[in-house]
Amino acid sequence: MSEVKIRPAVVADAKSIMTLVNELAVQQVMLPRSPASVIENIRDFVIAEVDGQFAGCGALAITWTDIAEVRSLAVAPAMQRHGIGRKLVDALVQDAKRLGIPRLFAFTYVPDFFAKMGFTHCQHEDLPHKVFNDCMHCPKFSACDEIAMTRVLDAKASPAKLFGKPQRAIPLPQRTPQFTPPEPTRKA
Protein backbone atom coordinates (compact mmCIF):
# COMPACT_ATOMS: atom_id res chain seq x y z
CA MET A 1 0.00 0.00 0.00
CA SER A 2 1.11 3.56 -0.68
CA GLU A 3 1.99 6.06 2.00
CA VAL A 4 -0.82 7.27 4.26
CA LYS A 5 -1.13 11.04 4.56
CA ILE A 6 -2.99 12.58 7.53
CA ARG A 7 -4.23 16.14 7.12
CA PRO A 8 -6.79 18.52 8.63
CA ALA A 9 -10.26 18.23 7.12
CA VAL A 10 -11.75 20.88 4.86
CA VAL A 11 -15.41 21.53 4.13
CA ALA A 12 -15.17 19.56 0.88
CA ASP A 13 -14.46 16.43 2.98
CA ALA A 14 -17.85 16.57 4.73
CA LYS A 15 -19.61 14.35 2.17
CA SER A 16 -16.89 11.66 2.34
CA ILE A 17 -16.94 11.75 6.15
CA MET A 18 -20.73 11.41 6.32
CA THR A 19 -20.81 8.66 3.72
CA LEU A 20 -18.19 6.53 5.48
CA VAL A 21 -19.44 7.10 9.02
CA ASN A 22 -23.07 6.47 8.09
CA GLU A 23 -22.23 3.34 6.06
CA LEU A 24 -20.45 1.97 9.13
CA ALA A 25 -23.38 3.05 11.31
CA VAL A 26 -25.71 0.90 9.18
CA GLN A 27 -23.41 -2.02 10.05
CA GLN A 28 -23.73 -0.95 13.71
CA VAL A 29 -20.00 -0.35 14.01
CA MET A 30 -20.54 3.28 15.05
CA LEU A 31 -23.26 5.88 15.54
CA PRO A 32 -24.42 7.96 12.56
CA ARG A 33 -23.58 11.65 12.06
CA SER A 34 -25.90 14.24 10.59
CA PRO A 35 -24.70 16.60 7.86
CA ALA A 36 -24.97 19.53 10.28
CA SER A 37 -22.91 17.79 12.97
CA VAL A 38 -20.11 17.08 10.50
CA ILE A 39 -20.10 20.49 8.82
CA GLU A 40 -20.37 22.45 12.07
CA ASN A 41 -17.47 20.46 13.54
CA ILE A 42 -15.29 20.09 10.44
CA ARG A 43 -12.35 21.71 12.30
CA ASP A 44 -12.33 18.76 14.71
CA PHE A 45 -11.62 16.24 11.92
CA VAL A 46 -8.46 14.86 10.40
CA ILE A 47 -8.49 12.92 7.15
CA ALA A 48 -6.42 9.95 6.03
CA GLU A 49 -5.58 9.76 2.35
CA VAL A 50 -3.88 7.06 0.32
CA ASP A 51 -2.74 8.12 -3.15
CA GLY A 52 -4.86 11.26 -2.76
CA GLN A 53 -8.02 9.24 -2.07
CA PHE A 54 -10.10 9.52 1.09
CA ALA A 55 -9.36 6.49 3.29
CA GLY A 56 -10.66 7.47 6.73
CA CYS A 57 -11.34 10.13 9.29
CA GLY A 58 -11.39 10.90 12.98
CA ALA A 59 -12.28 13.85 15.15
CA LEU A 60 -11.08 15.32 18.42
CA ALA A 61 -13.98 16.97 20.22
CA ILE A 62 -12.97 19.04 23.24
CA THR A 63 -15.38 18.27 26.05
CA TRP A 64 -13.88 20.22 28.95
CA THR A 65 -10.61 21.90 29.90
CA ASP A 66 -8.98 18.59 30.74
CA ILE A 67 -10.64 16.04 28.49
CA ALA A 68 -11.51 15.49 24.84
CA GLU A 69 -13.26 12.77 22.88
CA VAL A 70 -11.91 10.77 19.97
CA ARG A 71 -15.03 10.39 17.86
CA SER A 72 -16.13 9.41 14.38
CA LEU A 73 -12.98 7.33 13.91
CA ALA A 74 -13.62 5.45 10.69
CA VAL A 75 -11.52 3.71 8.06
CA ALA A 76 -12.92 2.61 4.70
CA PRO A 77 -13.46 -1.17 4.81
CA ALA A 78 -11.11 -1.78 1.86
CA MET A 79 -8.36 0.16 3.68
CA GLN A 80 -8.67 -1.45 7.11
CA ARG A 81 -5.85 -3.46 8.68
CA HIS A 82 -3.16 -1.22 7.18
CA GLY A 83 -2.51 0.98 10.24
CA ILE A 84 -4.67 3.89 9.07
CA GLY A 85 -6.77 3.91 12.25
CA ARG A 86 -3.60 3.98 14.34
CA LYS A 87 -2.24 6.92 12.33
CA LEU A 88 -5.52 8.80 12.75
CA VAL A 89 -5.50 8.26 16.53
CA ASP A 90 -1.82 9.23 16.73
CA ALA A 91 -2.63 12.52 14.93
CA LEU A 92 -5.54 13.19 17.31
CA VAL A 93 -3.33 12.42 20.33
CA GLN A 94 -0.69 14.87 19.08
CA ASP A 95 -3.36 17.53 18.63
CA ALA A 96 -4.66 16.91 22.17
CA LYS A 97 -1.12 17.25 23.54
CA ARG A 98 -0.63 20.48 21.57
CA LEU A 99 -3.82 21.82 23.12
CA GLY A 100 -2.74 20.76 26.62
CA ILE A 101 -5.52 18.22 27.06
CA PRO A 102 -4.33 15.57 29.52
CA ARG A 103 -6.93 12.87 28.93
CA LEU A 104 -8.93 11.43 26.06
CA PHE A 105 -11.98 9.22 25.93
CA ALA A 106 -13.93 7.31 23.33
CA PHE A 107 -17.27 5.54 23.18
CA THR A 108 -16.80 2.55 20.91
CA TYR A 109 -18.05 -0.77 19.59
CA VAL A 110 -14.46 -1.88 18.93
CA PRO A 111 -12.77 -1.75 22.35
CA ASP A 112 -9.92 -4.05 21.27
CA PHE A 113 -8.65 -1.44 18.81
CA PHE A 114 -8.75 1.32 21.42
CA ALA A 115 -7.06 -0.96 23.98
CA LYS A 116 -4.17 -1.37 21.50
CA MET A 117 -4.02 2.44 21.37
CA GLY A 118 -3.58 2.71 25.15
CA PHE A 119 -7.20 3.25 26.19
CA THR A 120 -8.73 1.45 29.17
CA HIS A 121 -12.35 0.74 30.07
CA CYS A 122 -14.23 3.17 32.28
CA GLN A 123 -17.81 3.79 33.36
CA HIS A 124 -20.10 6.12 31.44
CA GLU A 125 -20.68 7.99 34.71
CA ASP A 126 -16.98 8.89 34.77
CA LEU A 127 -17.63 11.13 31.76
CA PRO A 128 -20.37 13.51 32.91
CA HIS A 129 -19.87 16.14 30.23
CA LYS A 130 -20.26 13.57 27.47
CA VAL A 131 -23.33 12.08 29.09
CA PHE A 132 -25.03 15.43 29.63
CA ASN A 133 -23.95 17.10 26.38
CA ASP A 134 -24.32 14.34 23.80
CA CYS A 135 -25.75 11.17 25.27
CA MET A 136 -29.03 12.69 26.39
CA HIS A 137 -29.86 13.37 22.72
CA CYS A 138 -28.86 9.90 21.51
CA PRO A 139 -31.60 7.45 20.57
CA LYS A 140 -29.69 4.80 22.56
CA PHE A 141 -29.52 6.91 25.74
CA SER A 142 -31.58 4.56 27.89
CA ALA A 143 -29.92 1.43 26.46
CA CYS A 144 -26.39 2.46 25.49
CA ASP A 145 -24.32 -0.42 24.23
CA GLU A 146 -21.12 1.49 23.48
CA ILE A 147 -18.04 0.85 25.60
CA ALA A 148 -16.56 3.90 27.36
CA MET A 149 -12.75 4.05 27.35
CA THR A 150 -10.15 6.59 28.45
CA ARG A 151 -6.49 7.27 27.84
CA VAL A 152 -4.35 9.43 30.10
CA LEU A 153 -1.85 11.60 28.23
CA ASP A 154 -0.55 13.56 31.23
CA ALA A 155 -1.43 12.18 34.68
CA LYS A 156 0.23 15.12 36.46
CA ALA A 157 -1.99 17.71 34.78
CA SER A 158 -5.08 17.00 36.84
CA PRO A 159 -6.14 14.41 39.42
CA ALA A 160 -7.96 11.50 37.80
CA LYS A 161 -11.05 12.01 39.93
CA LEU A 162 -11.50 15.49 38.45
CA PHE A 163 -11.05 14.65 34.76
CA GLY A 164 -13.97 15.96 32.76
CA LYS A 165 -15.78 17.25 35.81
CA PRO A 166 -16.47 20.92 36.39
CA GLN A 167 -13.74 22.57 38.39
CA ARG A 168 -14.26 25.62 40.58
CA ALA A 169 -14.35 28.56 38.29
CA ILE A 170 -12.93 31.95 39.12
CA PRO A 171 -15.80 33.63 40.88
CA LEU A 172 -17.46 36.34 38.88
CA PRO A 173 -17.79 39.68 40.58
CA GLN A 174 -21.17 39.98 42.20
CA ARG A 175 -23.03 43.14 41.54
CA THR A 176 -25.55 44.03 44.14
CA PRO A 177 -28.49 45.59 42.40
CA GLN A 178 -29.29 49.00 43.67
CA PHE A 179 -32.82 48.93 44.88
CA THR A 180 -34.56 52.22 45.18
CA PRO A 181 -37.86 51.91 46.93
CA PRO A 182 -40.69 53.75 45.29
CA GLU A 183 -41.47 57.07 46.80
CA PRO A 184 -44.57 57.04 48.88
CA THR A 185 -47.50 58.59 47.19
CA ARG A 186 -48.63 61.79 48.83
CA LYS A 187 -52.21 62.47 49.50
CA ALA A 188 -53.31 65.93 48.73
pLDDT of residue 29: 83
Question: Is residue 56 in a domain?
Answer: yes
Tell me the CATH number at 117.
Answer: 3.40.630.30
Within a domain: residue 111?
Answer: yes
183 domain-assigned:
no
pLDDT tens digits along 58-95: 999 998 888 999 999 999 999 999 999 999 999 999 99
181 located within any domain: no
Q: What is the predicted pLDDT for the residue at 164?
A: 46
In a domain, 15, yes or no: yes
11 lies in a domain? yes
Residue 167 lies in a domain: no
Instruction: Map the chain to HEC letters.
Output: CCCEEEEECCHHHHHHHHHHHHHHHHCCCCCCCCHHHHHHCHHHEEEEEECCEEEEEEEEEEEECCEEEEEEEEECHHHCCCCHHHHHHHHHHHHHHHHCCCEEEEEECCHHHHHHCCCEECCHHHCHHHHHHCHHHCCCHHHCCCEEEEEECCCCCCCHHHCCCCCCCCCCCCCCCCCCCCCCCCCC
Q: pTM for the full model?
A: 0.79
What is the mean predicted confidence (pLDDT) over 143-147? 71
Domain that holds residue 122: 4-162
